Every structure is written in C-alpha cells, then in structure tokens.
Structure 1
C-alpha cells in the first residue's frame, strides 16, 4: 500500500515495527535474503536521493543515521603524542593516549601506500568513496550468514576509524562507531561520500595512513615504523611496508613482537606481497625477494609517561611537575597526551646532573640504613620568568621500592616535617619591613617564653652571647632571639611575609598543607596565627622545597616574587605557540630590603656561620647568601642558599610514615634519643654540603659576582628603632629623650653606683630596640 498523500513513506519491517533494523539477526534463510535485498536498495536510495526529497526517508532509522552522519563532521583533532624536552631540546618524556606522529604523505614510503591500497581497497582510485558493488555484496552476504563480511572502501575505513579514535569520547560512543549494523554502514558510507567531495585521494590516503592502528597502541605509519623497525615511515623497505600493511586488518593477531604471532605476521606479510604483485604494485620478482627476508624488526619502543621515560629515575620529578603545572594551567593529562605538543621545559641538564650527583653522594638510597631518607634539591633561576632549573632527589623516581624508588613528589610537595631555622628569614624580613635594621641588637638569653604560648619555654641549641645584631643572628641562628623578635613584630606579619616571599602554598586550604588542619575553613597562614604557632619562626611547618628555593630567588631578584615555572614554551602540532595564564610577578618587599637581607645572609658562609664548615670543606669561594635549618628532633633539616644568579634549597627528611631521627657519621635513620645525644644531622651538615656540591661545579671557572650593596636605611633601621644613649645623663633628661624617640621608660635604682644621685648608670637597650619598646634605665641612688 502506498503512502497517504502528504505523509513521508516509511518502510515497515515484517514485525510491524517502524524504523529499526534490530531484528535482522532474528531472521534466517530466505528472510535474511529478502531483507538483505531490501536493505541494499534502501542504502543505495538513501545515498543517492537528494536532500530535498528527504534523504533516508525509507525508515526512521535511516533518517537518524543520515542525521548522525551530518552531525559527525570529521574535523576533530586527531590525537598525537606530546613530547617534553629539557632546555636544550633533548627529550625528557613522551606522553600519548594513542602513539601517533602525523607526517605528510610524501614522508610515507610508496611501498606502504601501495601495500595498503592493494590489500584494503584496490579500487580506491576508481570509486568516489563507496564501492557500490562491494557494499551491496557485503550486505547481501551478511544478510544470508550469521557472520559479517567487509565491503568498506579505504575511505569508509578511514571514516570508521575517525569516528572511533577521534570523535568517540565515551565507551557507548566507541561501541556505536564500530557496531556491525546496516545503520552504521549507512552513516559510514554517507560520510565517505562527503569526505571525497571535499578531499583529494591523496589527502584521504594521508589521513588513513596517519590514523589507523598498525599495532597494539601504535597508530599511524610514522609511530609504527619507529616502534617496530626503529626507522621513519619514508625509509621502510618493501618487506617492512608489507608487514605493516598486513597488520591493519588485525593488529593484535599480526603483531610480530608477540612471540606467539610471529608466524601469523610472516604469513600475512607474504600474502600482502603476493597481492601487491598480482595487482602490479610491485613485480613478482621483487615480491618473492622480499618474502625471503626476515621481518626486519628493530624495535624502538617509545615509553609513555614520566615513570617509563628514559632516565626517569633522575628526570621523573621534573617531568611530573611539568604535568602538575600544566594541569593547574588548565591542561589536564588527557589534553596534554593527545595534543601533539612539544613542551620545552626549563630543566637545565647540567644543573640537574650536578644536583642529582650531590644528593645521591650524600645519601645513598640503596643502603638499608638510608632507604627512608629523602635528600631533595630544587634549583630556581632569578628574574622573570622564574625558571625552575632542577628538581631532584637522592631517591630515584619510579615504582621499584626495592631500589629505593618513589613517585612521591619529593622536591615539590610539602615536606611534612619542616625546614627548621630557614624560617627565621621570614621573621627577619618582617622585622626589617617594620623598621628594624640588620644592625638591630637583639637579646639572646639561654631561654625565653612567649606571651602567645604561656608556660612553654624555648631554648637555644648551644651557647650564645647575651645579645647580637640581627645580621649576626641570621648567621648563628639563636632560637630565643627570633622568638622574641617574632613576638615584637607579630606572628601575623611573619606568616604574611612567608607567603609574600614565596611560600604561596600557605594560601591554600590549611588541610592541604597539614592534614591535622583539615576542615579548619581557612588557609594555612591564617591557622598559624589562629593556633598561635609561636614556633613558626623555628620552621616547624610543612614546606615545599621548590617554594623554599623560590624564596631565595625572590631575594636575589630585588624582592620580586615570580611564580616558579617549569615550562618555557609550548608549540602545537602546527608549530604555533600555545599560551597560558600564569600568576603575575609581585614586588614582595622593597628592593633595598631584599638587597640588605641578602648581604646580611652572606655571613652564614663565613666565620662562625652555621654553613661555614661546609663551605670551607667544599672550597666555596663565591658570593652567596644562606640559612640553615634543623628541626627539634632531627627528623628533618635544610639549607637555603642563593647566589646572584640562582637559588637552591636542600631539604632532608625521613619521607616514610612514622618518621625517625636522622643521625650522622654515617648518615642513617635513628632513634630520637640517639639523635639528641649529639648525633643528629643539622642543616649545616648534609643539606649544606649537598648545596655546596650542587653549586660548586656550576661556578667552577666562573668569575665571582656580587649582590647589590646593602641600603643604609635597612642596616640601621628606621628612626623609631634608634635608642638614644642616655647613660651619664640626668634622669629627667634621659626620660625626655627616650620618650621623644617613641619609647616607654621604666626606672630602676642602684645603690653605691659610683655616681651622683639620679644619674643614669645603664639602659636596657642601645643602640636599637623595637618601636615603642620599654627601656629600663638604671639610675644612681647616690
């Protein structure tokens, strides 16, 4: 019965259901033959009728298939592998979801082009995208049997592979792209016809040879040639090309690197050669000669990812940080691994080699007594952009824990045990920003308490004079002087200064820095203040070695903080630069403050500075500034040092659960009692030596360079820190002078002072004090 006037004609299945071919498999014998004939007619009609007539109006399903074909443009971005290089262009790692390198057709062997055409579609140059005879024959054959027979042209295969490998994102979409149904065949054929209307045969063949799988996880001629033969696609021999062409049909079955399929691959290769000879693609003599050759294998497997990369034990930490950095910039791992980028990292191989040798020489991860110990080095250049030059650890990057390997992000994550007195830098900088100078004289008693922590006593690790300048304190590191200074300046300002100079991680949720603060609802710096962590200046907080290194770079860069970047440039598949948004540089402290603090920190390398012994032992003769650090139970220690050109931090800690103390001579993990009994490793030990051994090879043969001069303003400090000398003055004059300078005054008397009554014998602070401090003057009682 014909259609009702005005209604589209619909083909009805015998069951009466409209618009579905799902019941094809339920038919058999004569029914399949009849239905196959009908399907063939529907297919041809659907492909030939103009759109105005209502293409595919034979059934609802055909209409949907055509609509899908129109909605499936073949203009997605074909996944290509991405390469990460170091600063010299040497490969650090390759990343891929599909190992593929796109090359033009001219860079693909003629042998491979001819072999694929001969084997997959010998009428390729004659049809317009669909081989009508082959397609109808396949539909009829498939309708009469329970199996399936191909009828796809090379163009149709390209379409199917494109839909599966490029367009399909979900498992359902992938299943639909390769479903063995007439509907899929119709959509595929329609797209093939459209493709050949807009592309030349050469373009279709180029796309096909770059797209399809030639081996398990190996896509495209170039990557496959490299993987199986260690060569490029343009240099394939006839025998190699035939082997690859034969694999397209069933990559796992014809994989010559699988010992169980070597003979399958050889037989398939020889079949390809015979077909090439029969079609005139090559002479019979050339085919026979190629059949006598071995498989020509010379595998060059391209490792995927940071862990599997060549030299990943050394470069893996940097590689992982590149991926972390790109993810934070908005490029997830899947995007990176499929974009076909060249990511030029800032990693300097010379700096990396030196840092790795120094870290491992000091702490051998293969020894039983040191397997728990991480000795990390992060090196950052000065200026902007702030290039990360090296990220290494003594422990190799990798998955083999029996070899001391780890995939912890040791140089970049938060080392949970802190970096000790390196944090006194923040207290000093906060004080200088508040008006203190490096000549400020601080009191350094044997022990002190803080009003923020009533009942808690803080002690020095060794004996010190009763007082010393801030510059001297930075070199020798008395705890009590910095506890007092932190109290005078304020914990808030010290915590804020740590963030400003480079510890930006403290702006993250407190629980991300220290799990014990999970759910606190504030950033970590705020918790330092809220929880009154007085020992913050003593470096008890988790710290990122990379961020700590960048603190030195900030000071070396005239007080300008810049985000540490491991990526120099990203070039896409079309050789165009990829851009991304990074945090802007910020002036953390005035340039004069940074210069003065850097000059003051030079004292750590000389005299009785805590790193002086390491410097002398290494033969260090160049300008540098630094600060050592050791935590209370010797579970971690650190050294931050920087030259006028670059900064490096070394953080040493027990990186395993339930950390232990770290003892010296020889270095090893040990009990807390043993470490506290004079055996613990301090920042002036392994960390400082590691730093010297990292930096010295980089400076050897180089002339000395210098920091910019210190500023008198930040040496002496502001006027409100300058205490007048009122000794030998009358009490009233003394009080007037001190009050006029902004200080409070308390009076004590001394009998038999050897002076007239009310003459000042002594004063509690001179020549400097905290702004507004109370000055006690001692006067003679006569």
Structure 2
C-alpha cells in the first residue's frame, strides 16, 4: 500500500501540472525520489556497425558489437512511423513525457493483476529505458535499467520530462526507432529492415512496417523466423490498431492480414567480422593496420571500440577480381591440410595499394580442417605469424646496388660450383666484416661457369652473387633493401643474407619488387585510402607514402635483366603471361620454402610455398604431397611459380599492355644493347646510328665486298649481337670490288677475310 500511495502521489502531482507542462517544464517536486536524480540524461551516440569496402565500392566486411545503422527520421517510411506510433503510443504527438491516460489505465490494470508493473509507458519513456540500458556499464546499472519497479518508472519519467523539454518529438521518435531492438541481432529499424526484408527503412510498406512495429514488444517471442505464427498474429494486431485509429481502412487491413508472413520475409544476414568476409585475411590486415593509427583513438582499446561501434566507412585498396584470382591460384596448388602453407600478395607499383592477399589455410579455429587465425602473408605486427626465408629473391638488392655503383652489366665473374670466401673480403658499414673466422662456404645448385650480371641473375648463381657482394660491399645493399621496405635484422646481417633472411612475407617481397616496376619509386603498402565517421565526414585520407630510392635508370636495368627470367630459356618461361613481365625465383636451404616474385609495370606479385606440419614446425617441402602433387625437390620456379602464373594470367585482362623502359646506355655501364644492322649505309649514317645506340665506333678499314664502294660492308660484332653500353663496334668499309676466285694452285687467300669472329659475343644473354 505504501508503494501504491507513492505512485498515486506522483500521478496526482502529474495531474496538477498543466498538460503542456510535461512537454516544456521539468517535473519540479513531483516526488521526493525524483529530486535526487539529475535533471537530464545524456544521450550518447548509439553504436553502429563499421563497413569495409573494396576499391570499387563493394562491401567486403562489417564489424560490430550491435548490428545497427542509424538513419534520420526522414529516411524511415511513413507507414513505419505510423505503425510504431499506433501500437506503442498513439497519442505520442499529443501528450507530454507522460501519457496520463495510458498510465492510469495501466495502473488500474496492474493492481487488478497483483501489482505487476507493466505497460503504460510512452515512447519517450521507452526510449529513456533503452538509453539507460544501452549506456549501462555495470551489472548493477543494467539491472536498474530493467527492474520491474515503480522506482524505475519514476526515474524514466524524470528523464523523459527532460528529453521532452530539450528535444523535439521527431528527435525522440528517431532515436527510439534507432535504439530499439527488433530481434535476431537487428538493432534499429534500418538494420531490421535489411535483415527481415532486404530493403532500406525508407522503402518499408504497410505489411512490413506492421511486422517490425509488432516486434519491439517481444523481439524473441514474436521473431518471424522462429515463431512465424505468433509474429503474424502480432502483425495483425498492429494492422487492426491502425485501422481502429483510421490510419488505414478496415477493408485494407483485412486484405493485408490475409497475406502469410512467410511470403513477406526476405532474410538477409549481416556477416560480422573478418572471418565471414569475402577477403578474410585482407580484412584482418586492414583491422590491424588501423588499430595502429591514432586517428581512431589514443589507445588500442579506444581504436578497437571505434572500429566495432563507430559506424565507420572504410575504403580500401583491394580489388575483388584480383583477390578471386589470388584465392583460386593458391587453393589450386596448396590444400588447407597439406604440410605446407601457400601465400600470395599483389601490390600496385607507384602507389603501394594492396590489391589482394591470399593464403592456403582458411580463417577459423578448426585445426583439423587446416584453419588458422594467423595471417602468414603480411608482416608479423599485422598478422601475428612468423615469416619465412625468402631465398634468392634477396639477390636483387645486391644487383641493384652493383648497378648504382657503376659496375658494368657485362662484368664477367668466374663462378665455380662451390667456393670458400673469407670473412674479411666482405665490407660492412664499419669496415671488413668480422665473422666467426670460418668464412662463407657457398655453393650453387645451377652449375658453374662464367657469368655476367644478366646470366648470373637469370640463372640465380650463388657463387656469382657472393663474389659480386665482395665488390659492392654489404653496407649499401642492406641500406637499399631497407629503403625498399625489407629490413634485415642485425643478427642476420651476414654475407649470406643475400640468399634470403627469415621472417619474410609475400606482402613485403611484393612491395619491394614493385619498386623496380615503378622505376625506383618505393611506396609503403597501403590497404586503406579513406576512413569516414558515422556522419560521413572524413576522419582521414591516407595518402601514398612514396620515395625515390634508386635512379630510374638503375631500375630499368634491373627490369631488363629480370625480364630475361620470363623469356625462353629463363626459369619463368613456362609461367610467362601475355604482358611484358619480369621475375625472380627464390629457394632456401633444404627447400623449406620456395618463392616466385614477379611483376609487370602495373602489378607486382609474390607467391610463396613453405613447408609446415600440423604442429606448426617448419619442414622441408621435399618428399611432400602438396596440392595433390608429389614434390621430389622443390624450387621456386616449379612450386611457387605456377601459383604466380595462374594468378597473373587471371588478372592479365585488367592490365594494360605496358612495356618496361629500356635501360639508357649513356647512364648504365654495361647495359646490353643489340648492335644495329648498318650494312649498306654510309659511314657517316652508320656511325651516327651506332653512337646513338651507345656504342663507340672504330674504323676497321676497307674490305672487298659486293656492297657499294664507300659503304659499310659489315660490322664487328655483327648486327643483332648484344653488347654493353660503351663497347666498341668496328666498321668495315667496302671497296665495291670482289676479286675473282684464285686459280688452281694459288696458296694465298683473302687476307682481309671477315674478321668479326674474333671478338665474339662478349656479353651474351642467350638464356633469355
């Protein structure tokens, strides 16, 4: 009876307040219990799901704690507004914070039913309750927001009066429709409209609106998927109420009620998190990349909250066509449960935009199915996984530095199958390298011979590069590697680093090789271009971070060398695509991981396969069955190469036909250029043509030939031979006379015979 007296006192006090007073005036001295409450309740922003889009604006993932998308009232259909008002608070626009009629009616009903506290709340009071529950941070606060007591009703009334004083009815209704729970994980009317009917809230019709309006009273009990009969009955109650209030005719209500609720549903689930994304490991990379950016908050916790509740729009660089190609290629050659991990990354040169990331082990916790949450294709700080040794893909750093230092591309080095090189022959940044005194015993898997920078690189000759490193030193190639995004740990800065260091990953290698494709312009990998807040305002535009780390001419020379790998005779000839491309293989010791890094001027791709057993231990690929095929001995060209080839062939149609720029003979020492065929030209014209091609011209004198007198009879070397920039081409001028053959018995021959054989092809690249 005491409780009843308190409520009656409150109601009496409310009745004493002028009708409009509850709209514009705070409830002063309504009850002693209300005096202790704050005069108003802060309505914090509602959590909204974050959406991640690909480069073409396609949704690839959503992140949320609550599936909600806030919409303004004008973006909610009028039938929906009318339905919710009709069933929840039909006099909403006529009364103040408290609907006295409804409260008194509910009070009498509650007393007749044993004193339960149900019903009678206005939309404003319901919005207050939802706000208190949403903003509760402790179990006690959550319990207080939902307890069935008059004390809770009094609190809600106090705050409702303040809301009515400080906000319009439309603002209150808008917040109510956005905060309300509609069941099956859908918070707010927009998420509910999409989930149950696959449409936006602004497009809801009468039947759909009545269904949703009926759900807020009991979202679980009236769930149209699990409880279609109860949901349909509740929907019909709403339609009857709308007819009773004159919102629609009774005839129309009866016609609408005849439609089974199942016929109106078009369920569309809203995937949550990266695991359900169309590109799970790219999504995971984006999340971890943004978690390190202070634009989303000062702490990791604040940034994570912003990602899951901030309603952000994240525009990324992924191309779903390229992602599909990457996924298909990797999954074709490496199966999830193989004792191996396959991975691939695609990066756009001159921007660093990450176009695709794929790996053979799917995202998930089922280890028996080969699933994992470790992202093996990105650096450890973004994927939590250790990397793999990248083998001979690292040789390009010494190659590029050798060109920077002016070492001619035609430089020939005798490279035995194995050799011992003393530590002191390698210079680091502080002087001679001080190793363990045992030197480096380096050997080849590609035989022996004499190689220049073209053939030594194309055949990936270890002893050639070990000796080349003694010429360049270790310091500058290591610095260049760092400038290209590959930082070698201090402990691994030893002469053999050029055969690959541990903890490398496909993204790192792809962005490094993209530097060559971009003619020496290195760009940091960029997965995100823009982040917008929940209001569509730009939080941050992520600009490209690029720096010229080598002369364009140096990159041109590297490209010219590496394109030979893709041409007949090169290790990559069987995976070459229909666009100009260049590449490099990588195979580490014991064949535990193999690589193929290749690129066109428009896209750089690195593919990798590494041996790994079910215990997470690295193992040799030799003797393994991977992708359904047995591997006797693993090499970059035969195991990783086909992944690269399939992926690049699939995206080739998206690429323009762009060729690499030829290395300039006047800037790069030893650039190999084909000798122009100038036979039959005047000496002046031939000299001009040869010098323009970068050659030094010498006069070889006259020779007898059928070519016109005074014209060039031939050159040495002959036209088509590949020479280095600055090499000498000798011109032989025709006398225009061919002597008759000697008569029988003559002992002499033509002393001026074709002398071009002696010089030979000094810098040949026959293996291209």
2:445 paired residue number: 462
Shift of 1:552: 1.2
Match of 1:299 among 261, 267, 279: 267
Give the secondary-structure state (helix, strand or coil) at the position aligned to 1:392.
strand
Q: Deviations over 1:379-412 (max 9, x none)?
A: 111113x211111234444555555444331322
Match of 2:669 among 716, 741, 761: 716
Q: Is the 8 A contact 1:438 1:600 kept in 2?
A: no
Match of 2:286 among 307, 319, 322: 322
* Distance in 2 separating the partners of 1:147 and 1:607: 87
* Distance in 2 separating the partners of 1:654 and 1:253: 52
Relative to 1, partners in 2 of residues 1:435 and 1:183: Cα closer, same or farther, differing over 3 Å?
Answer: farther
2:738 paired residue number: none
TM-score (norm 2): 0.75
**Any gaps of 5 or more consecutive residues in structure 1?**
1-29, 507-523, 719-766, 769-782
1:538 paired residue number: 499
The alignment status of 1:624 with 2:581, answered yes or no, reads yes
Q: Deviations over 1:552-591 (max 9, x none)?
A: 1122223222221122333444343331566832332333
| Equivalent residue pairs, number | 642
Match of 1:239 among 203, 207, 211: 207
2:389 paired residue number: 418
Shift of 1:54: 11
Shift of 1:429: 3.2
2:62 paired residue number: 94
Q: Is the 8 A contact 2:23 2:97 kept in 1?
A: no
Relative to 1, partners in 2 of residues 1:335 and 1:701: Cα closer, same or farther, differing over 3 Å?
Answer: closer
2:463 paired residue number: 480
Shift of 1:716: 2.6
Q: Is the 8 A contact 1:660 1:669 kept in 2?
A: no
* Distance in 2 separating the partners of 1:218 and 1:243: 14
- Counterpart mapping for 1:587-736 below 5 A: 587-606=548-567, 608-612=569-573, 614-615=574-575, 618=576, 620-656=577-613, 657-663=616-622, 667=626, 679-699=632-652, 704-712=657-665, 715-716=668-669
1:32 paired residue number: 3
2:547 paired residue number: 586
Give the secondary-structure state (helix, strand or coil) at the position aligned to 1:578.
strand
Give the secondary-structure state (helix, strand or coil) at the position aligned to 1:276.
helix
Relative to 1, partners in 2 of residues 1:606 and 1:50: Cα closer, same or farther, differing over 3 Å?
Answer: closer
* Distance in 1 separating the partners of 2:470 and 2:147: 73
Q: Which piece of structure 1 moves more, 149-158 or 451-460?
A: 451-460
Shift of 1:249: 1.1
* Distance in 2 separating the partners of 1:282 and 1:132: 26
* Distance in 1 separating the partners of 2:666 and 2:162: 76
The alignment status of 1:221 with 2:189, answered yes or no, reads yes
2:119 paired residue number: 150
* Distance in 2 separating the partners of 1:178 and 1:491: 70
Give the secondary-structure state (helix, strand or coil) at the position aligned to 2:176.
helix
Q: Is the 8 A contact 1:378 1:649 kept in 2?
A: yes
The alignment status of 1:248 with 2:216, answered yes or no, reads yes
Give the secondary-structure state (helix, strand or coil) at the position aligned to 2:38.
helix
Match of 1:383 among 350, 362, 368: 350
Shift of 1:64: 4.0
Match of 2:245 among 279, 295, 301: 279
Match of 1:429 among 396, 400, 425: 400
Q: Is the 8 A contact 2:529 2:541 kept in 1?
A: no
Give the secondary-structure state (helix, strand or coil) at the position aligned to 1:239.
helix
Match of 2:87 among 94, 104, 119: 119
1:359 paired residue number: 330
Q: Deviations over 1:139-169 (max 9, x none)?
A: 798799663223321022123323433x445
Shift of 1:329: 2.4
Relative to 1, partners in 2 of residues 1:342 and 1:703: Cα closer, same or farther, differing over 3 Å?
Answer: closer
Relative to 1, partners in 2 of residues 1:455 and 1:249: Cα closer, same or farther, differing over 3 Å?
Answer: same
Give the secondary-structure state (helix, strand or coil) at the position aligned to 1:458.
strand
Shift of 1:701: 9.4
- Counterpart mapping for 1:759-778 below 5 A: none
Relative to 1, partners in 2 of residues 1:265 and 1:351: Cα closer, same or farther, differing over 3 Å?
Answer: same
Q: Deviations over 1:679-721 (max 9, x none)?
A: 2221111222222222234335976422233255774389xxx
Q: Is the 8 A contact 2:595 2:609 kept in 1?
A: yes
Q: Which piece of structure 1 moves more, 482-491 or 550-559?
A: 482-491
Shift of 1:100: 2.2
2:680 paired residue number: none
* Distance in 2 separating the partners of 1:338 and 1:462: 55
- Counterpart mapping for 1:135-214 below 5 A: 135=103, 147-165=116-134, 167-168=135-136, 173-180=141-148, 184-214=152-182
Shift of 1:213: 0.9
Q: Is the 8 A contact 1:640 1:648 kept in 2?
A: yes
2:42 paired residue number: 73
Relative to 1, partners in 2 of residues 1:582 and 1:190: Cα closer, same or farther, differing over 3 Å?
Answer: farther
Q: Deviations over 1:268-290 (max 9, x none)?
A: 22332333333333333333333
Q: Is the 8 A contact 1:418 1:540 kept in 2?
A: yes
Shift of 1:543: 0.9
Q: Is the 8 A contact 1:65 1:183 kept in 2?
A: no
2:305 paired residue number: 334
- Counterpart mapping for 1:262-273 below 5 A: 262-273=228-239
Q: Which piece of structure 1 moves more, 463-472 or 133-142?
A: 133-142
2:510 paired residue number: 549
Q: Is the 8 A contact 1:661 1:669 kept in 2?
A: no
Q: Is the 8 A contact 1:596 1:710 kept in 2?
A: yes
Give the secondary-structure state (helix, strand or coil) at the position aligned to 2:641.
helix
Give the secondary-structure state (helix, strand or coil) at the position aligned to 2:438.
strand
1:27 paired residue number: none
Give the secondary-structure state (helix, strand or coil) at the position aligned to 1:303.
coil
**Any gaps of 5 or more consecutive residues in structure 2?**
297-302, 381-385, 424-434, 672-761, 764-768
Shift of 1:333: 4.0
Match of 1:448 among 406, 412, 420: 420
Relative to 1, partners in 2 of residues 1:702 and 1:222: Cα closer, same or farther, differing over 3 Å?
Answer: closer
Shift of 1:420: 0.8
Q: Is the 8 A contact 1:611 1:684 kept in 2?
A: yes
Q: Is the 8 A contact 1:138 1:150 kept in 2?
A: yes
Relative to 1, partners in 2 of residues 1:276 and 1:441: Cα closer, same or farther, differing over 3 Å?
Answer: same
Q: Alpha carbon RMSD of aligned pairs, Å?
A: 3.7
Give the secondary-structure state (helix, strand or coil) at the position aligned to 2:217.
coil
- Counterpart mapping for 1:563-578 below 5 A: 563-578=524-539
* Distance in 1 separating the partners of 2:651 and 2:74: 46
* Distance in 2 separating the partners of 1:199 and 1:471: 76
Shift of 1:648: 0.7
Q: Is the 8 A contact 1:440 1:716 kept in 2?
A: no
* Distance in 1 separating the partners of 2:458 and 2:16: 89
Shift of 1:356: 2.6
2:715 paired residue number: none
Relative to 1, partners in 2 of residues 1:584 and 1:633: Cα closer, same or farther, differing over 3 Å?
Answer: same
Give the secondary-structure state (helix, strand or coil) at the position aligned to 2:273.
coil
Give the secondary-structure state (helix, strand or coil) at the position aligned to 1:351.
helix
* Distance in 1 separating the partners of 2:663 and 2:110: 87
